[in-house]
Chains A and B, each alone.
Chain A
Amino acid sequence: MDGTTAMSTVIDVAGVSRRYGEVLAVDDVSLQVGSGELFGLIGHNGAGKSTLFRAMLGLERPDAGQVRIEGEVVGSSTFRAVRRRIGYLPENVAFHDNLNGRETLAFYAALKGVPEADCARVLERVGLAAAAERRVRGYSKGMRQRLGFAQALLGHPALLFLDEPTNGLDPQGIRDFYATLGTLQDEGVTIVLTSHILAEIQERVGRLAIMKSGRVHAVGTVQDLREATTLPLWFELRLAAGAHDPLHAAAAALASDGCELRMEGNRAWLRCPRPVKMRALAALAALGALLQDLQVREPSLEDILLGQKTA
């Protein structure tokens, strides 16, 4: 569960709450992100991801708690030095339409105190070099997103905050994006990103936090979360002739452990609680050739996120 022990903590969120009128957008959230981690923040729209993000960056002053980045309290007098080490891609990033790509980056580079020469490098990195002299007004959604990513990469930041970074990217763009993230991670950059497309990030992030109604519901690797969950798993079976009765007998022996069997023609589904997984598998293996095929259906991250109620 604790992936941070080996690494030094770079982002330390301690008891942060943020209220908008009646709505508690972020509710007493604490979490740590270690140096060099690729950390995912998952949740539905409105779960509080963006607000938590904005609090981490000091764009939102928490009503309670505090955020430390590299040991410095966010929003303190040293924020400028910390800001220079951060790249941020906001959700639904927007630019001043009257500038072209290069000018847009030059403006942000000037504000960050980054040499203008760095603009060409980041444009190259996100694959926008050819469109650098075109007005941002004419950019597609994907190109704007790339430009936003380029802007975040200005000045080789040690930390990247990316809010819904693959919004508007096509499948190839998404692959390119994660390839770039991989390179950055190799360079030691700490990356936090949010998403509601779970299938996309569950293979790619090291650890993730699941947010629901402003609370962090669970933190850990995908494996940690699967193991911690009480969601059952499924065995999907295809039966040979004569398998019905032996399968019934095997399922009956597992019934006291909470397994349930459903059959339909030559297909069957055995639903088991996670701790019984290996015992159930052994019982099914004992049926030998009576089973033509067996597939284990693990709960997806999506099931974890959607299937559990807030406590």
Chain B
Amino acid sequence: MTSRFELHPVAIVAAKEFRDRLRNRWVLVAAAVFTAFALVIAYVGAAQQGEIGLRGIDVTIASLVSLVIYLVPLIALVLGFDSIVGERERGTLDLLLSMPITRLELLLGKYAGLAAALACSTLIGFGVVGGLLLLKLPGAALIHYAGFMASAVLLGMAFLSLALMVSVLASDRTRASGMAVALWFFFVLVFDLLALGALVVGGDRLGGDALPYLMLFNPADVFRIINIFGFDDVRALHGLATVFPARLAHPALLGGAMLAWIAAPLAIAAWSFRR
């Protein structure tokens, strides 16, 4: 469909998607899940070091990063996998596409509305924990926490983008859910094992220098790098200060990688949805 892009239909679809998620309490429930997990992790995350309770902000962030890597991609995939294929299967897509809206506008509207819902949940959920930290800790460290929340939102956007891609590519909802679960397994569990395996097997031949860059090919790892290697004190905490090239920890590179992870799956979805 060759037609000039218009923002207005995108906004209408986005507003509807967002309102739907507010009305069916999705935003509330997801925020509650984030809050509950984050509180537990923040309090007991350092139990192995013999401490319980809120500690330094960087240590808390380090604990929360692991939680976010498991939870946020899962919730983003669950939120988005159904968005197009579900409408197709229920028969509502036909009518929607007969409106004065292009397929690209519809896709972007869906994405924007769901992304807003996910961002709300993430910010509320981790914001509550951040608020508690604020009561206890000096304000300066909260810059780190703000960075952590922003990167968690970006991580959600990236996996939501993957979810929409799955939703366009899959022929039915069952397959879409299967593909979503597979993506989660791959990026959250399998990818790092493969990378580690490559390092062990390939060793010197591959060159240890290449491995960190491999991490850019996984949005979950990009998120980890932003939050763990982005701050000197945390890096020291993990004992990784020497292993990781400082060049790679550059915020522009990491931010760019995250944005690419948001844009690329959406672009594939848009391309595939066109026909």
Residues of A close to B96: CB separation below 8 A: 111
- Specify which chain A residues have a CB less than 8 angstroms from the CB of B205 in the assembled complex: none
6 smallest beta-carbon distances between A and B, as pairs:
A94-B91, A83-B100, A111-B99, A88-B98, A90-B94, A80-B100
Contact call B1/A79, Cβ cutoff below 8 A: yes
| Chain A residue, CB-CB nearest to B15 | A110
Task: Decide if A151 is an interface residue (CB 8 Å cutoff).
Answer: yes
Asked whether A173 is an interface residue with its Cβ less than 8 Å from the other chain, the reply is no
CB of B12 within 8 A of CB of A107, answer: yes
A106-120 vs B, CB cutoff 8 Å, 1 = contact: the mask equals 011011110000000
Can you name 8 A-B residue pairings with CB atoms under 8 Å?
Answer: A83-B98, A83-B100, A93-B95, A94-B91, A94-B92, A95-B95, A111-B96, A113-B100
State whether A96 touches B92 (Cβ < 8 A): yes
Query: Does A205 count as interface, using CB distance less than 8 angstroms?
Result: no
> Which one, A39-47, A53-61, A186-194, is touching chain B?
A53-61
Q: How far is the CA of A113 from the CA of B90 in the complex (A)?
A: 25
Q: Complex formed: what's the CA distance from A282 to B92 in Å?
A: 58
Q: Which residues of A contact B (CB under 8 A)?
A: 54, 57-59, 61, 75-81, 83-84, 86, 88, 90, 92-96, 98, 107-108, 110-113, 148, 151
Question: Interface centre among B4, B12, B13, B90, by most A CB within 10 Å?
Answer: B12
The answer to whether B16 touches A80, judged by C-beta atoms less than 8 angstroms apart, is: no
Partner of B4, one of A75, A77, A88, A92: A77
Q: Which residues of B contact A (CB under 8 A)?
A: 1-4, 6, 9, 12-13, 16, 20, 23-24, 90-92, 94-101, 275
Q: How many residue pairs between the two chains, A and B, have CB atoms under 8 Å in the bound complex?
A: 64
A61 and B275 contacting across the interface, CB-CB below 8 Å: yes
One of A57, A77, A113 near B2 (C-beta < 8 A): A77
* Pick from B1, B20, B91, B101: contact of A90, CB under 8 Å: B91
Most chain A CB inside 10 Å of its own CB: which residue of B13, B94, B96: B94
Q: A83-B99, A98-B24 are in contact. Are A93 and B91 (CB under 8 A)?
A: yes
Shortest distance between the CB of B158 and any CB in chain A (Å): 27
Distance in Å: Cβ of A103 to nearest Cβ of chain B = 9
> A107 near B23 (CB under 8 angstroms)?
no
Please indicate the chain B residues that have their CB under 8 angstroms from the CB of A98 in the complex.
Answer: 20, 23-24
Residues of A within 8 A of B91 (CB): 90, 92-94
- A90 lies within 8 A of B95 (CB): yes
| Docked-complex contact A110 and B12, CB < 8 angstroms | yes
CB pair A151–B95 under 8 Å, yes or no, is yes
Residues in A with CB closer than 8 Å to B3 are 76-80
